[in-house]
Amino acid sequence: MDKHSWKEDALCLGYDTNFFFDKYEEDESFRPAIDKLCSECPVMKECFAAGVAQKEWGVWGGIYFEGGKISREFNNHKTKKDWSDTWENLTMDK
C-alpha cells in the first residue's frame, strides 16, 4: 500500500526545482511570485517542517533556508507584513 506524501499535494509539484534554489537566489524580482505560491499552498507547514528537520537549502514553506536555518540574505526582500503573514500561515490553524 502506497503511503500518500504531503509532497503530492504541494502547489509546486511539477515546477522546475531551480525556481526554489538557483533562480530564487539569483533574481530578487522573482522571489515574491514564489513566496505567493508558497503562501497559498495547502502543505506549507509540512514543507517548512521538512526544511528545518532535514537541514535543507532552498525555499521550504515560503522561507529560504541555508542548512535548515533561515537565510537573512535570501529573505531580505520580505517586509514585516510578509513575515507576519508567513508566520501566521505556518503557526495558526486555518
Q: Average pLDDT, stretch 55-81?
A: 96
Say if residue 78's pLDDT is above 60: yes
CB 31 within 8 A of CB 24: yes
Residue 4 cell numbers, joined: 500518500
Q: What is the DSSP letter of 20?
A: G
CB 33 within 8 A of CB 19: no
The per-residue pLDDT of the chain, averaged, comes to 94
Contacts of 70 (CB under 8 A, 6+ apart): 63, 64
Q: Average pLDDT, stretch 31-60?
A: 96
Residues paired with residue 60 on neighbouring β-strands, in sequence order: 63
pTM of the predicted structure, to 2 decimals: 0.90
CB 34 within 8 A of CB 24: yes
